[in-house]
Structure 1
């Protein structure tokens, strides 16, 4: 009797097929996981780049305007400060408008992260207003055409005509005065040493608000899922219209450390001779530029290191190796020239 051919798989063929299937599945899984890991690294790096760019932009914008006072500068025109009992953050002299603090202690007034740097900036705030009234006599108030900067009572106010400059405390700021459209800013003697400015200003005078800023790195109190602390760049600013009370604001998340060095002209030739830390600067009036280095960290864990997802070479910041906690890190640097001190 003729036997029919056997149809189907034997146990050997089935085992071989299963083994090949498992190998192919494992390969697909590995490729998928690798792709996901690469995607996480790329996303973390993109967020770091964006945060670093924002942080550098904030710092550069305000550092560049240190000591700004309109058409003049402190090298040509000293400011006559008539405000009574000015606060510590009002020191508008050539050695006061830009200063820094190096490697702050743990008990600092700003709750800044220990061993990070802080930078203090003072400047006039634009847009400026034009003087339109009370120009015929030395009065206890001035009148301006508009108030685009939002100057309010208790704010500090600049007035300058590029020959003379005064800085006073506004006691009251009126709304638009009837059909004239003038806004009156009083500088009475209860907030000032005198209710008289140093001269009678004309229509060429500019009126601006005063602003002080402190940039620093602070622990936000928030943690990553793995429990690592999240640091951010903060600024404490004396903003106009706030009753002259400085307010601290978180700007950019993921700034772990900030180190600042200052380009100093040591021989009065209007060129930078050396970059120094804040503790080493000998004359703050001779600082012509500022160099800022930011150490950024990702807010996601398990990006680098022990998880094996991405190997980041030893990172050096401020002369020391940065310890790894499986977060991605990057260093961003920028250098800023002080406009009012350029040749």
Structure 2
């Protein structure tokens, strides 16, 4: 009997209390493991998004720097030469700009994305009547910025050239993102063109002073003759640049007398001239930000895409999407005034010479350009400050309030910039809330800024 009692006592299982204690301990251990996993997973998502934003931002800033640094570039003759003494007794380089021989230059397919016409009023500028003789290409045709701080039209001129829903700042797919600037710059593609004086020859008239025709015979490494498809040519050396209307027959380019004010000059081979197809070799580059979604439908998750357009929307190459996750894009222009001082202005301030308070730098003599002509301060831009506000494309609901804080210095009116939250109500600290742009608050946001020096301002 004693043996049977001991056996029953030894074979007995755990009690209910013991089972509940074991289950509680297991739940505590499992809860700790899950907590650590979720924390690690969230940290990994944050780090992944930050790394992606950094890489995307580095690529976008690099692409912007390449284009903006070339702004206003032609062939070896942008600025420089003999400095001109300004009204403040400061010697400043004068602008060298192409001489336009072509009639109706702004009406021909030569300058894409041009928003300024002769004898019109744009912003606070009234432009002169169309010239009736050869003239120097005005400064505002090289670069045109648009200050777009809200839902209203950009200043100084609406961006009606983008086309379709992009002309409107809004939250719908295809709209231009609210609070993002637009900028168009122009420069000559230095990899193009044909050298004159070697296999290709410029033929002068009987006096040799004006150009009769250009016979193209491409040398090694030069584009084929068939690449000259436009109706406008640019011939330039290191001291002269001229744009004129042409006709093309085979490998012969001939100035078009009916569409030119007068015959262009015949540049001498000793000055190393080159000829370009102005319509296609002049790069017209526009940057803007468009509302897109992750699946391409209106119901998808919205974000902003930085877009790059080259030579308008009528060419076969579509606008290039550089990166996604862009919520703000701001340009500030560093201009040099007649005293040699540099200040940073918005696009509308540049266009109006800060309401006429700034006198433009001098130009080369014997041109139609002055220190106060409409839009002249665009030629005084020596640097451009680019600011991007990037956001994580993924919405993360478990982000804490401090993790959503970010800095965007262009919105800081006065004082030292400080981080703000997406719900910041003061427009002096945050001009536009992400929710007003159609973007969720629960995203990581970081600012990237670059100061680009315009290499073509001084040779």
The residue correspondences of 1:24-103 to structure 2 (distance < 5 A) are 24-74=29-79, 75=94, 77-87=96-106, 89=112, 92-103=137-148
The residue correspondences of 1:103-252 to structure 2 (distance < 5 A) are 103=148, 105=152, 108-109=159-160, 110=162, 111=166, 112-128=176-192, 129-131=194-196, 132=198, 133-137=200-204, 138-143=211-216, 144-145=218-219, 146-147=222-223, 151-154=227-230, 156-169=232-245, 171-172=247-248, 184=251, 186-189=253-256, 192-193=259-260, 196-202=263-269, 204-208=272-276, 209-220=281-292, 227-238=300-311, 248-252=319-323
Q: Which has the larger displacement, 23-32 or 82-91?
A: 82-91
305, 324, 327: which one aligns with 1:256: 327
Aligned to 1:287: 381
Q: Give how far 1:243 is off.
A: 8.4
Q: Is the 8 A contact 1:79 1:166 kept in 2?
A: yes
SS of corresponding position for 2:305: strand
Q: Give how far 1:37 is off.
A: 1.1
The residue correspondences of 1:264-303 to structure 2 (distance < 5 A) are 264-269=335-340, 273-281=342-350, 282=353, 283-302=377-396
The CA RMSD measured in Å over matched residues stands at: 3.3
The residue correspondences of 1:3-14 to structure 2 (distance < 5 A) are 3-4=5-6, 5-7=9-11, 8-14=13-19
Task: Give ranges in structure 1 of 5+ residues lacking alignment.
Answer: 175-183
CA distance, structure 2, for counterparts of residue 24 and residue 265 of structure 1: 67
Q: Is the 8 A contact 2:399 2:442 kept in 1?
A: no
Aligned to 2:446: 330
Q: Is the 8 A contact 1:81 1:167 kept in 2?
A: yes
Q: Which has the larger displacement, 330-339 or 49-58?
A: 49-58
Q: Give how far 1:290 is off.
A: 0.2
Q: Give how far 1:77 is off.
A: 3.2
Q: Which has the higher strand share?
A: 1
Q: Is the 8 A contact 1:153 1:243 kept in 2?
A: no
Q: Give how far 1:19 is off.
A: 0.9
Q: Is the 8 A contact 1:157 1:168 kept in 2?
A: yes
Q: Give how far 1:49 is off.
A: 1.1
TM-score by length of 2: 0.63
Q: Which has the larger displacement, 192-201 or 123-132?
A: 192-201
